[in-house]
């Protein structure tokens, strides 16, 4: 599936609409949202008639904003910018500045939307993107509701994309949901998770349900364990202020990792669009038993990085990063064992780990199959025969590896493990993308599959919250406990070794033709 191609296979452009971006001068807008909208335009998936209206605190006007985003796109576009295409885009860009706590900003916004709609003869559809700090989500939605901007009519939709994190624990997520539900119906709320915009994450569904050979063995009879690793080489960069109040459990596990896990573990949906997939995802999350306090101690490991070396460069400890408390107890690494209590997965451990400043940047899902029931080739040969594994490589390389065994040519029986590799780079055309294209497009056609419905957010917090509680009650005493550039604390290896397993890291070979 080439990048940008919507999962559901639609190829009509999105509905004509006005796209209002709150947080228009922020990082997310310049690095991801504008490049993604521009990519959609090139692909003719953006409606011909559209307008982009930026809202931010920074002083400015349409002219200044157009100049700014022209400079930004030249820096952040995923491909060289075509001037004619961009000129068409930029003349549809508008801006207002204002404080999000001030009702006056929303009055001016409403008037500006009406003006822009008149200028371009746009219908009443409006997509609001909240690329702002989470503490303002409820406020902005309340103000939009108060001035009537969230009200839909028969021929005008109003949709709101909300960035993560959705709450900082179960109680605050519930409260936020309650607040925004006063102005929006669930079908108008698009809770975004950029992992679901990743090509290979979407491919998990195609791989599982588009092939008949895997589903029959996708269960506890054949699968011994599942591992999900989301490892980053980067540290907290300039986000120390946010991260120090978050930690990896909230930042990565509650959303991205549980989302990937639910796609790997869910039952087949009856259709690929609308609520079918979301119904199945939430069922899996609900089947993950929240841990009792003693299970948290037994089945989870946390870590924080000390100084170390990455790519031959010295990097500082987490506690020395900008805007991080020098005595911080925030975790930058987590490993845990989860159990999915349903018929398909009972007693199959799901090991997950994620962290910053690890030895490599990689996101991969390893499905470990059970050994063949009878080993036939003699003790010495058999000991080389590892159980089969299937690896879904999500990044940086995208692809799939199936480890099988084959006889080496020759008179003796010698068995080798052979990786059958499929690398996306070798597969058809694929265009550079930000990962936000599919998600923005889906919102413009009203396709909700790839967005979190509230029940799955709630279910994820129910899994994470007991861990947060125990960790808060028992602050870590050994932080920092891993050096930057390693695979995390030793206790992470011990956690999985208790069950007779070890963590796998399978870099996918880059096809020779694609090597730079
Ligand atoms: C974000 C987290 O959601 O995902 C970041 O807030 C993290 O801390 C990022 O670095 C990872 O995304 P990706 O696409 O680079 O794997």
pLDDT for res 365: 97
pLDDT for res 469: 97
Instruction: Give the pLDDT band (50/70/90) at residue 4.
Output: very low
pLDDT for res 431: 66
Ligand 1 midpoint to CA 232 (Å): 8
Q: Whose CA is nearest to atom 6 of ligand 1?
A: 251
Give the range among 147-151, 211-215, 465-469 with minimum mean pLDDT: 211-215
CA 65 to chain centre: 29
pLDDT for res 3: 39
Answer yes or no: is pLDDT of 9 > 70.
no
pLDDT in tens, 342-356: 999 999 999 999 999
pLDDT in tens, 221-234: 999 999 999 999 99
pLDDT for res 379: 72
Answer yes or no: is pLDDT of 453 > 90.
yes
pLDDT for res 428: 65
Q: Whose CA is nearest to atom 2 of ligand 1?
A: 251
Identify which of 252, 258, 331 to mutate to test ligand 1's pocket (most ligand atoms within 8 A of the CB): 252
Q: Is the pLDDT higher at 264 or at 408?
A: 264
Answer yes or no: is pLDDT of 510 > 80.
no
Ligand 1 midpoint to CA 500 (Å): 31
405 in catalytic set: no
Contacts of 407 (CB under 8 A, 6+ apart): 413, 414, 415, 416
Question: Out of 256, 393, 452, 501, which one is annotated catalytic?
Answer: 256
Round the average pLDDT of the chain to a whole number and report it.
93
Whether ligand 1 lies within 6 angstroms of the CB of 251 is answered as yes
Q: Whose CA is nearest to atom 5 of ligand 1?
A: 251
What span, in angstroms and rounded, lies between the C-alpha atoms of 482 and 489?
A: 5
CA 470 to chain centre: 26
Answer yes or no: is pLDDT of 147 > 50.
yes
pLDDT for res 429: 56
Place of tokens 């990082």: 27
Q: Whose CA is nearest to atom 14 of ligand 1?
A: 195
Ligand 1 midpoint to CA 128 (Å): 22
What span, in angstroms and rounded, lies between the C-alpha atoms of 233 and 222?
A: 33
pLDDT for res 142: 98
pLDDT in tens, 312-367: 999 999 999 999 999 999 999 999 999 999 999 999 999 999 999 999 999 999 99
Locate the ligand 1 atom nearest the alpha carbon of residue 248 and give its number: 8
CA 441 to chain centre: 16
- What 3 state SS string does 207-245 have? HHHHCCCCHHHCCCCCEEEEEEEEECCCCCCCCHHHHCC
pLDDT in tens, 89-122: 999 999 999 999 999 999 999 999 999 999 999 9
pLDDT for res 515: 41
Whether ligand 1 lies within 6 angstroms of the CB of 232 is answered as yes
Locate the ligand 1 atom nearest the alpha carbon of residue 236 and give its number: 8
Locate the ligand 1 atom nearest the alpha carbon of residue 395 and give its number: 16
Identify which of 194, 245, 250 to mutate to test ligand 1's pocket (most ligand atoms within 8 A of the CB): 194
Ligand 1 midpoint to CA 119 (Å): 38
Give the range among 82-86, 235-239, 312-316 with minimum mean pLDDT: 235-239
Ligand 1 midpoint to CA 515 (Å): 26
Contacts of 286 (CB under 8 A, 6+ apart): 459
pLDDT for res 5: 45
What span, in angstroms and rounded, lies between the C-alpha atoms of 397 and 508?
A: 6
Ligand 1 midpoint to CA 397 (Å): 16
Give the range among 6-15, 120-129, 198-207, 289-298 with minimum mean pLDDT: 6-15
Q: b/e map of 30-62 (b: 16 or more CB within 10 Å)? A: bebbbbbbbbbbbbebbbeebbbbbbbeeebeb
Answer yes or no: is pLDDT of 135 > 80.
yes
Spatial CA neighbour of 182 closest among 220, 205, 207, 151: 151
pLDDT for res 516: 36
Give the range among 84-88, 127-131, 353-357, 412-416 with minimum mean pLDDT: 412-416
Contact 56, 97 (CB under 8 A): yes
Instruction: Give the pLDDT band (50/70/90) at residue 140.
Output: very high
User: Bridge-partner residues for 404, per DSSP?
Assistant: 418
Instruction: Give the pLDDT band (50/70/90) at residue 296.
Output: very high
Ligand 1 midpoint to CA 234 (Å): 10
Instruction: Give the pLDDT band (50/70/90) at residue 408.
Output: confident
Answer yes or no: is pLDDT of 383 > 90.
no
Q: How many helices (H) and strands (E) does the chain have?
A: 17, 18
What span, in angstroms and rounded, lies between the C-alpha atoms of 386 and 406?
A: 12
Structure tokens at 444: 């413009």
Locate the ligand 1 atom nearest the alpha carbon of residue 195 and give its number: 14
pLDDT in tens, 49-63: 999 999 999 999 999
Q: Mean pLDDT over residues 411-436, rounded?
A: 81
Q: Whose CA is nearest to atom 4 of ligand 1?
A: 252
Cβ neighbour number for residue 209 with a 10 Å cutoff: 16
């Amino acid at each position: 599936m080439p990048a940008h191609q919507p999962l559901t296979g639609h190829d009509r452009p999105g509905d004509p609409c006005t796209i209002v971006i709150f947080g228009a001068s922020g990082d997310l807008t310049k690095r991801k949202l504008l490049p993604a909208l521009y990519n959609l335009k090139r692909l003719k998936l953006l409606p011909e008639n559209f307008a982009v209206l930026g809202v931010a605190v920074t002083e400015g006007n349409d002219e200044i904003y157009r100049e700014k985003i022209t400079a930004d796109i030249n820096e952040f576009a995923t491909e060289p910018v075509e001037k004619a295409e961009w000129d068409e885009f930029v003349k549809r860009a508008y801006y207002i500045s204002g404080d999000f706590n001030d009702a006056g900003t929303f009055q001016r916004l409403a008037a500006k939307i009406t003006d822009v709609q008149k200028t371009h003869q746009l219908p009443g559809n409006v997509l609001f993107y909240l690329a702002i700090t989470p503490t303002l989500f409820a406020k902005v939605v309340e103000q939009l509701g108060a001035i009537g901007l969230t009200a839909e009519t028969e021929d005008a939709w109003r949709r709101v994309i909300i960035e993560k994190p959705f709450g900082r624990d179960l109680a605050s997520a519930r409260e936020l949901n309650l607040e925004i539900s006063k102005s929006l119906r669930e079908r108008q709320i698009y809770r975004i998770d950029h992992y679901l915009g990743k090509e290979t994450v979407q491919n998990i569904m195609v791989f599982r349900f588009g092939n008949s050979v895997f589903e029959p063995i996708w269960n506890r009879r054949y699968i011994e364990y599942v591992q999900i690793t989301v490892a980053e080489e980067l540290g907290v960069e300039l986000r120390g202020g946010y991260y120090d109040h978050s930690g990896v459990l909230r930042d990565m596990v509650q959303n991205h990792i549980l989302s990937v896990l639910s796609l790997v573990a869910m039952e087949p949906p009856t259709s690929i669009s609308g609520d079918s997939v979301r119904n199945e995802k939430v069922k899996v999350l609900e089947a993950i038993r929240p841990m009792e306090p003693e299970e948290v101690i037994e089945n989870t490991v946390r870590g924080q990085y000390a100084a170390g070396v990455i790519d031959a460069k010295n990097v500082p400890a987490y506690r020395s990063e900008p805007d991080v408390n020098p005595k911080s107890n925030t975790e930058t690494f987590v490993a845990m064992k989860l159990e999915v209590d349903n018929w398909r997965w009972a007693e199959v451990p799901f090991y997950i780990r994620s962290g910053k400043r690890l030895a490599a940047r990689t996101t991969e899902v390893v499905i470990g199959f059970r050994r063949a029931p009878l080993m036939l080739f003699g003790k010495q040969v058999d000991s080389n025969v590892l159980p089969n594994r299937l690896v879904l490589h999500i990044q940086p390389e995208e692809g799939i590896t199936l480890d099988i065994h084959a006889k080496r040519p020759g008179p003796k029986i010698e068995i080798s493990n052979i990786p059958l590799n499929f690398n996306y780079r070798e597969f058809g055309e694929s265009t550079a993308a930000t990962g936000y294209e599919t998600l923005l497009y889906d919102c413009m056609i009203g396709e909700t599959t790839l967005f979190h419905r509230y029940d799955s957010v709630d279910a994820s917090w129910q899994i994470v919250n007991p861990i947060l509680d125990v960790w808060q009650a028992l602050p870590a005493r050994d932080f920092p406990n891993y050096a930057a550039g390693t695979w995390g604390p030793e206790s992470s290896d011990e956690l999985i070794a208790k069950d007779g397993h070890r963590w796998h890291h399978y870099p996918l070979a880059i096809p020779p033709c694609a090597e730079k």
